[in-house]
Chains A and B, each alone.
Chain A
Amino acid sequence: SQTIHQWPATLVQPVGSPLSLECTVEGTSNPNLYWYRQAAGRGLQLLFYSVGIGQISSEVPQNLSASRPQDRQFILSSKKLLLSDSGFYLCAWSVLRASLYFGAGTRLSVL
Chain B
Amino acid sequence: AQSVTQLGSHVSVSEGALVLLRCNYSSSVPPYLFWYVQYPNQGLQLLLKYTSAATLVKGINGFEAEFKKSETSFHLTKPSAHMSDAAEYFCAVSESGANSKLTFGKGITLSVRP
A95 to B107: give the CA distance in the assembly, Å: 24
Distance in angstroms between the alpha carbons of A6 and B44 in the assembled complex: 13
A96 CB contacts on chain B under 8 angstroms: 99-100
- A-facing mask of B85-114, CB < 8 A → 1, else 0? 000001010001011111111110000000
A15 within 8 A of B: no
The interface of chain B, by Cβ under 8 A from chain A, is 9, 32, 34, 36, 41-46, 49, 90, 92, 96, 98-107
Decide if the interface of chain B is mainly helix, strand, loop or mixed: loop
- Chain B residues with Cβ below 8 Å from A97 are 32, 96, 98-100
**Of all chain A residues, which has the CB nearest B32?**
A97
Q: Which of B42, B92, B102 contacts A104 (CB 8 A)?
A: B42
B41 and A107 contact, CB distance less than 8 A: yes
Chain A residues positioned under 8 Å from B43 (CB to CB): 6, 90, 92, 102-105
- A99 at interface (Cβ–Cβ under 8 A)? yes
Cβ of A111 < 8 Å from any Cβ of B? Answer: no
- Given the known inter-chain contacts A90-B43, A90-B44, A104-B42, please indicate yes or no for A43 contacting B107, CB distance below 8 A: yes
Partner of A46, one of B45, B101, B107: B101
Given contacts A44-B104, A96-B99, 17 further A-B contacts (CB under 8 A): A6-B43, A43-B90, A43-B104, A46-B101, A49-B101, A90-B43, A90-B44, A96-B100, A97-B32, A97-B100, A98-B100, A99-B34, A99-B49, A100-B102, A101-B46, A105-B41, A107-B41
Q: Using Cβ atoms and an 8 Å threshold, which residues of chain B touch A107? A: 41
By size class, the interface of chain A is: 20 to 34
User: Judging by beta carbons under 8 Å apart, are A41 and B100 in contact?
Assistant: no
Find out whether the CB atom of A99 lies under 8 angstroms from the CB atom of B101: no
Task: Give complex CA distance A87, B41 in Å.
Answer: 11
